[in-house]
Amino acid sequence: MPSPDPEHPGLLVRDPFQFSDSMLLIPPQLVPCLACFDGEQTTLDLRENLVRITGQIQVGELEKNLAGTLSEAGFLEDEKFERLRSTRTAEFAAAPTREPSHAGSAYPDSAEEAGKALSEFMQGAAPPDAGDSLIGIAAPHVSPFGGWESYRDAYATLRPEYRDRTFAILGTSHYGEPDRFGLTRKPFVTPFGTAITDTSLVDELAAASPGGIRMEDYCHAVEHSIEFQVLFLQFIYGPDIRILPILCGSFARSIYQGGKPEDNDHVKRFFDGLGNMSAREGNKLFWVLGVDMAHMGRRYNDQMVAKADEGEMLAVAERDRDRIQRLSENDPPGFWDLIQENQDDLKWCGSSPIYTFLKAGPRARGTLHRYQQWNIDEQSVVSFAAVGFR
């Protein structure tokens, strides 16, 4: 991403998988040289770029330093990177629990401080409706500090008697393989305590679509879309809730090449397996969708400078609401038709969990409780919502 510090311009490079914990600042003049590390160009191509940039013939030392720095940080696909990746994936596979990856950054890392923060977020919440017809919610997975009003309006609908259900959490897999679903048997830990993963349901889904899942998917180690939902659920019901955590990879092939996600046999079998589970378990399950919606602005490779609820973002809001309407009407084909428009130029990262819920979950109608846009930085906007399903 571009450096946010005007006094230190350039490109900040980090590893979202956290195989490496390094962060580098690439000076503006050297940013074009990163394109030389594509596995196809050679050191001669890199040298030619450096000569052109610096106006100097002797660039050997600069070339060596650039390549060496990237390698040492774990940012080149070489032996150093493979060691880092192997170590981290093995550590996650061997770990007895899924430890919190965003405590201390996206929310406080102590139970007391996290409780204070969530108590403040939930202030002013309306009491839940009477009756017991709610079967699920959609909440953001953006930082709780940025999306607290939508988190509040989604989680305020939960009634005390839902505590004994298994919370089937469908989260966006930002880094997972397309057309695949990430599963884990590990209990989820937050500052509030340890949530119990229903391993029997995990095993059932793994057996239903072995080619469609990644068991003990490393993406769980770094993904926030489920972690934030577990945090709010534990705040409401206590630490020892039961969960079924499912990361949903992008359905990018369908978006860019046409057709429906279930045209992929692995995806279809997973939908069938989840649908059979939903029909059998009924109200023993409660569905939680951890989803954000549009991603617009410079951070997301748009030319425009995006401002929440202003200018071009007003048209984005209209299109977002059209999609939310199709979701609320339980119209999977209509929802996916809108996602495929312009190859999803709105960049809805929550489209795959939503479509998975529509295809495999109970037939439910949605009620929109809040729609929001938030400037994640001065030039970029994320949209999200609170939706209840009955």
Per-residue HEC secondary structure of 158-176 comes to: CCHHHHHCEEEEEEECCCC
Q: How confident is the model at residue 60, as a pLDDT?
A: 87
Q: Tens of pLDDT along 270-294?
A: 999 999 999 999 999 999 999 999 9
Kindly state which CATH superfamily the domain 101-389 is placed in: LigB-like (3.40.830.10)
Domain extents in the chain: 11-90, 101-389
Distance of CA 7 to the CA centre of its chain: 31
Q: How confident is the model at residue 341, as a pLDDT?
A: 96
375 φ, ψ (degrees, to nearest 5): -75, 105
Cα–Cα distance for residue pair 74/79, rounded to 1 Å: 9
Other CB atoms within 10 A of residue 357 CB: 27
Other CB atoms within 10 A of residue 155 CB: 22
Nearest in space to 158 (alpha carbons), one of 239, 240, 226, 233? 233
Measured at the CA of 223, the angle between CA 212 and CA 176, to 5 degrees, comes to 30
Q: Tens of pLDDT along 317-349?
A: 999 999 999 999 999 999 999 999 999 999 999
Enclosing H/E stretch for 317: helix 312-328
| pTM of this structure | 0.92
Cα–Cα distance for residue pair 13/9, rounded to 1 Å: 13
Q: Which residues of the chain have pLDDT under 50?
A: none
Check the CA dihedral 42-43-44-48 and report its sign: positive
